[in-house]
Amino acid sequence: MDRQLQMDQQSLVNAWQERLPALMEDGDSFSVQGDEADRNSLLIHFNAAGHQAYSLDFRCTYVDSREVAVNLVDVEQDGRHMDERAGAIQQLAQQYTRQIHECAQALQDLTNP
């Protein structure tokens, strides 16, 4: 049985923009856009609340209609690239990765009808 993602990228972006805020921590912000290089991928940018001014970029790729692969692409603090292995950054990356997976799970009624 074919389980490829059948949903068009713009509809997917819209669904993520509607659902992801419910999973976010207070004060954090995000943006979602389609990855022009891969119609099954989204680029998700998080701005962490707080004084550290971290921003993290992820690529979320639909492996099929039920499963996503999440990759941390970049971490910045006040516009400067940061080492993603630092403890505070690892915690944020794990938190946002979990939220991405939760959002993908919440949208399965659309992506895997």
Task: Give the pLDDT of residue 67.
Answer: 93
What is the phi/psi pair of residue 35, to 5°? -85, 115
Whole-number CA gyration radius for the chain: 14
From the CB of residue 84, how many other CB atoms can be counted at a distance below 10 Å? 14
pTM given for the model: 0.93
- pLDDT digit string (tens) for 42-85? 999 999 988 788 999 999 999 999 899 999 999 999 889 998 88
Whether the CB-CB separation of 44 and 32 falls below 8 Å is answered with: yes
Please report which confidence band the pLDDT of residue 29 belongs to, taking 50, 70 and 90 as the band edges: very high
Q: Is the Cα dihedral 30, 92, 34, 2 positive or negative?
A: negative
Task: Give the pLDDT of residue 2.
Answer: 60
Does residue 96 have a pLDDT over 90?
Answer: yes
